[in-house]
Amino acid sequence: MPFPFKVLMHQDISGSMLILWILCINIAGLYACPRPDHFNVTDYGAVSSITVDSSQAFLNAWNSICNSEVDNPTLLVPEWRTFLLNPTVFSGPCKPKRINVEIHGELLAPPLPSAWAKHDPGQWLAFKEVSGLRVYGNGRINGQGFGWWNQSCKYHPGMAGCIKLAPTAIKFLKCNETSLTGIHFINSSQTHVTLLGCDEFHIDSLSIEAPGNSPNTDGIHLQHAHNVIITNTMIGTGDDCISIGDYTSNIDIVNITCGPGHGVSIGSLGKGGSYVQVQNIHVKDVYFKGTTNGARIKTWQEGRGFVRGVIYENLFFNSVRNPLVIDQNYGTRNGTVKAKNGVHVSDVAYRNFYGTSASNVAINLNCSESVACTSLRLDSIVLWPDYRLKEVTSYCSNAYGVSMGVIQPPPCLNHTSFG
Ligand SMILES: *[C@@H]1O[C@H](CO)[C@@H](O)[C@H](O)[C@H]1NC(C)=O
Ligand SMILES: *[C@@H]1O[C@H](CO)[C@@H](O)[C@H](O)[C@H]1NC(C)=O
Ligand SMILES: *[C@@H]1O[C@H](CO)[C@@H](O)[C@H](O)[C@H]1NC(C)=O
Ligand SMILES: *[C@@H]1O[C@H](CO)[C@@H](O)[C@H](O)[C@H]1NC(C)=O
Ligand SMILES: *[C@@H]1O[C@H](CO)[C@@H](O)[C@H](O)[C@H]1NC(C)=O
Ligand SMILES: *[C@@H]1O[C@H](CO)[C@@H](O)[C@H](O)[C@H]1NC(C)=O
Ligand SMILES: *[C@@H]1O[C@H](CO)[C@@H](O)[C@H](O)[C@H]1NC(C)=O
């Protein structure tokens, strides 16, 4: 053993990890050394196992980090390990202004719903009231959703005790200045990533993957979220790749691959007559492959409020059933309900759309009878029928605005100065 180590070991070094660390770097190089600002979950008792629950160990590590005096500390999930975690909430506020969660290993959800008996079935992992959080790494977050999917009401409507609400893999609740980078999400039992009550959030370079027929497995869902950037992400799931909910603004979505899935959707909004405020949504450079929708806005007929200032641009479609769709009659298919309300959709631009449609109605602007869509702008659109079809058409109802360079299908917007 080198000399300085020996010296240290004869001293009382409890609490002076830092000294050890500094010496350690000088002697042995970084790798063999514990870092005082790194909180390795294995040091808190987490064990690599697909059956032993490590959630208490993770919570203990989180509590240490959250109460630590260290600047910019890192909770570390080491590589080549799998940790089974029961439903867990990592709560703030925390002492450090910035906290890192570095995930290289795999986090595994319990395979059966029974593990949620004493927990909120709406979530598996959650960060609550934490600000300045950075979650990153090349690790996996695996929801093992099958045990929920096979009992979902969506696919087994007649089944006694079928499940409507299943856990979101990771929720960020009330947060500021947060980022989520690089992580691979797999098979969540329902939505993969939800932001609720967050301001300034950057999502980058994720992959999100679940079977195309898994029920309600949205990729990313935003609700009460402002100033969000989502970039360079691949999403293929059984529901919306990205869904934008009520009370959202300043959302930038760039360079996304979406499919299988239900598209990049604004909505569904205004369920139960709720008041909607959605504005400044910019969706750019998205490749949709085999999705049911591309650029979709869907609102419940009874909703109120507005969606305005939306730009969808540079979208590429490969056999997409509804490349461009506004559906303001969501939830009232049978037409017996005629609500007086309606969410006002206005100032929405669609430009540079290319590719193939898997249904005849490639452009479908089905707006509210009571509150029409206004200031829509369609610009440079060419959509071909895919190999199964002969032609594509467009449908407009209560849809006002201008079309320029809409080559195919023929444009149908109503050119009125209405609104
Ligand atoms: C975390 O702990 C594990 C198990 O002790 C170890 O193999 C790994 O190298 C540690 N990681 C770091 C960065 O200290
Ligand atoms: C986020 O910022 C807002 C406004 O400054 C503040 O009221 C709120 O407490 C912050 N939330 C957290 C979790 O720090
Ligand atoms: C659903 O899958 C789980 C896990 O494979 C299994 O234990 C359960 O019996 C299945 N339930 C139904 C209703 O098929
Ligand atoms: C996701 O779930 C599906 C269906 O159960 C399964 O076939 C697939 O292997 C799972 N993916 C991973 C990475 O475990
Ligand atoms: C777009 O995102 C993919 C990952 O999905 C990445 O490989 C690619 O480099 C990104 N393109 C640009 C121009 O950043
Ligand atoms: C428009 O919405 C109405 C009411 O839900 C529906 O009956 C009709 O089929 C829709 N039209 C198209 C072309 O989707
Ligand atoms: C039509 O929808 C309304 C509201 O969802 C429902 O109350 C009514 O029973 C439905 N009618 C039929 C004939 O399905």
The string of pLDDT tens digits covering residues 269-315 is 998 889 999 999 999 999 999 999 999 999 998 899 999 999 999 99
| Domain 240-419 homologous superfamily, CATH | Single-stranded right-handed beta-helix, Pectin lyase-like (2.160.20.10)
- pLDDT of 5: 38
Q: 51 alpha carbon to ligand 3 midpoint, in Å?
A: 17
Active-site residue among 239, 240, 246, 327? 239
User: For residue 322, which ligand has an atom nearest its CA?
Assistant: 6
Mean pLDDT by 10 residues, the chain (419 residues): 37 45 51 78 98 98 97 97 98 98 98 96 98 98 97 92 96 98 98 98 98 97 98 98 97 98 96 93 98 97 95 98 94 60 96 98 95 96 97 96 94 72
- pLDDT of 272: 85
CA 345 to each of CA 259, 276, 304, 319: distance values in angstroms, whole numbers, following the listed order: 26, 11, 10, 26
Residue 407, strand partner residues: none
- pLDDT of 155: 87
- The residues near 23 (Cβ < 8 Å, ≥ 6 apart) are 4, 5, 8
- pLDDT of 40: 97
**Whole-number Å distance between alpha carbons of 268 and 251:** 16
The topology (CATH level 3) of 37-234 is Pectate Lyase C-like (2.160.20)
What residues are in contact with ligand 4 under a 6 Å CB criterion? Answer: 146, 186-187, 211
Q: 237 alpha carbon to ligand 3 midpoint, in Å?
A: 21
- Tokens 């032609």 — which residue? 391
Burial class (CB in 10 A: 0-12, 13-18, 19+), 388: exposed
Residue type for position 53: D
Q: 170 alpha carbon to ligand 3 midpoint, in Å?
A: 23
Residue 316, strand partner residues: 287, 354
For residue 43, give the DSSP letter.
Answer: G
**Whole-number Å distance between alpha carbons of 142 and 117:** 20
Atom of ligand 4 nearest to the CA of 210: 1
- pLDDT of 32: 53
Domain segments of the chain as ranges: 1-35, 37-234, 240-419
| Catalytic site includes residue 262 | yes
Nearest CA to ligand 1 atom 5: 42
Nearest CA to ligand 2 atom 4: 176
**Whole-number Å distance between alpha carbons of 41 and 39:** 6
One DSSP character per residue, 357-396 reads: ESSSEEEEEE--SSS-EEEEEEEEEEEEE-TT-S--EEEE
Q: 172 alpha carbon to ligand 5 midpoint, in Å?
A: 25
What residues are in contact with ligand 3 under a 6 Å CB criterion? Answer: 111-112, 146-147, 150-151
User: For residue 287, which ligand has an atom nearest its CA?
Assistant: 5
- pLDDT of 31: 53
- pLDDT of 326: 98
- pLDDT of 25: 52
| Catalytic site includes residue 38 | no
- pLDDT of 23: 53
CA 322 to each of CA 262, 327, 387: distance values in angstroms, whole numbers, following the listed order: 9, 11, 15
Closest CA to 38 of 81, 86, 100: 100
Atom of ligand 2 nearest to the CA of 176: 1
Nearest CA to ligand 3 atom 12: 150
Mutate to test the pocket of ligand 7, among 330, 333, 337 (most ligand atoms within 8 A of CB): 337
**Domain 37-234 shares a fold with domain 240-419:** yes
Closest CA to 79 of 9, 168, 140: 140
